[in-house]
Amino acid sequence: MQTQESPAPDITRLAVPIAIIFFMWGFGTGALWVARPLFALALGGTLLQVGLVSALSATPRPIFGPVTGLLCDRWGRRPLLILAAIGHGGILVAQFASTSYLHFVLLEGLAGISIAIWTISSSVLIADITKIASRGRAVAFRDTAMRLGMLAGPIVGGVIAAQFEWRWVFIFIASTKVVAIYIVLFFIPETKPASVPLGATGRPGAIRASGAGIPWAMFRTRSFVAIAAATVCFGMIGLGPGLFRTYYPVHAQETLMLAPDVIGNLVAMGAVLTLLTAAPVGFAVDRFGRKWPLVLGLVLLGAAVYLLGMSAAFIGVAAAFAVFAIAEGMNSNTMQTYAMDLAPAAQRGVFLSAFHVATSSGMIAGPLLAGLLAERVGLETTLIIFTGVVASCVLLFAVLAQETLQRGQRQDSPASHTGFPS
């Protein structure tokens, strides 16, 4: 598939601001992952109610993602980024003042809207400021900055909670949004294209104004069907509260009798391994293309689920989590890069919001379907069934997906040495 892209801005000077805003967002997210469940418990929530808090945070994404995409294409990227950071920061301050579980959980639902706005608008920003030839490295750069923040966030949050109490962590997280707002206001330019040549109009070279409507044909391509299926599959198993993270601790503790500290150490080592995977994968997809690294990443994802289902000892669980960590690093970056390549410049917001809706749908459906199956056939059999689901998605993607990085655009081409710094 031959993709078309509008000229990306000279973004060498944007590398540091981009790293800062994504590090700060990850910094706050890492602290929130620790503070959210424990503060809910402190307010009198049950274990079921703690799970409800996390679910409410993810639920708004399929609803507000498309709205954000439309607004990104009409208003621009910076207003949405600033709105998301201000909204989430304000909600965090209100959560600091929460004195009841009900108050806290309602605010968490509102926070999910701000998170959805940030997720979509920041993805569109990265797509705008990168060229196809260096996009894999740019996505890896962003992901590395954010994951470093996620690793540091829980440490700082724990120190704050130990010195004061959990509610003060929300003030710390809100302060990270202030830094992000400052950087966006003074260092990030507006990147929404006024008009670009698009083949999506049906006439090669025709001009279509940014935000002038939705060319639905862009969702009816083989490549979009392939990436949508792949990202639903990855969302079901590997993202956020997906199947693997939800049931890995259960299997490790209930079946293999591993101690909580051993389980925690495996999770921490997996996070480091995912972080270390990001940069090499970014370079690989800019040199060899997106399709086959993504196929490999999906194969590894299926292998991780299979290994977990078959594990009867510590070594099996450790191997499963190591394979999963590598698969997460490969799939997360490469799927986003592939979707950004496919997105028409004037409708990037709408296109990428559809991609994120597929991701969020998988995140919601995966644990639910796995739980229903596990009650009937057992967890191990459920994991084998999902291994088959991944295998089907691998086959579908391999058959339908078309490579978006053409030979003349690749990293080793003389014409490709522009755009995001390597």
pLDDT for residue 45: 76
SS3 198: strand
Give residue 211's pLDDT band: very low, low, confident or very high (50, 70, 90).
very low
CA distance 94 to 271: 30
CA distance 413 to 131: 13
SS3 379: helix
* pLDDT tens per residue, range 131-171: 888 899 999 999 899 989 888 888 888 888 888 888 999 99
Residue 421 has pLDDT above 80, yes or no: no
Contacts 24+ apart (CB under 8 A), 69-72: 69/120, 69/124, 69/349, 69/350, 69/351, 69/352, 69/353, 69/354, 70/211, 70/349, 70/350, 70/353, 71/349, 72/120, 72/121, 72/124, 72/192, 72/348, 72/349, 72/353
Tell me the mean pLDDT in the region 55-76: 84
Tell me the mean pLDDT in the region 26-35: 83
pLDDT, greater one: 86 or 242: 86
Give residue 11's pLDDT band: very low, low, confident or very high (50, 70, 90).
low
What is the average pLDDT score of the chain?
A: 83
* pLDDT tens per residue, range 285-338: 999 999 999 999 999 999 999 998 888 788 888 899 899 999 999 999 899 999
Tell me the mean pLDDT in the region 183-210: 62
Q: Are 355 and 227 in contact (CB under 8 A)?
A: yes
Measured between its terminal Cα atoms, the distance across the chain in Å is 25
Residue 209 has pLDDT above 60, yes or no: no
Residue 264 has pLDDT above 90, yes or no: no
Instruction: Count CB atoms within 10 A of the CB of residue 87.
Output: 18
Residue 88 has pLDDT above 90, yes or no: yes
Tell me the mean pLDDT in the region 104-129: 91
* pLDDT tens per residue, range 242-252: 778 777 777 77
Give residue 282's pLDDT band: very low, low, confident or very high (50, 70, 90).
very high
Residue 417 has pLDDT above 50, yes or no: no
pTM score, two decimals?
0.80
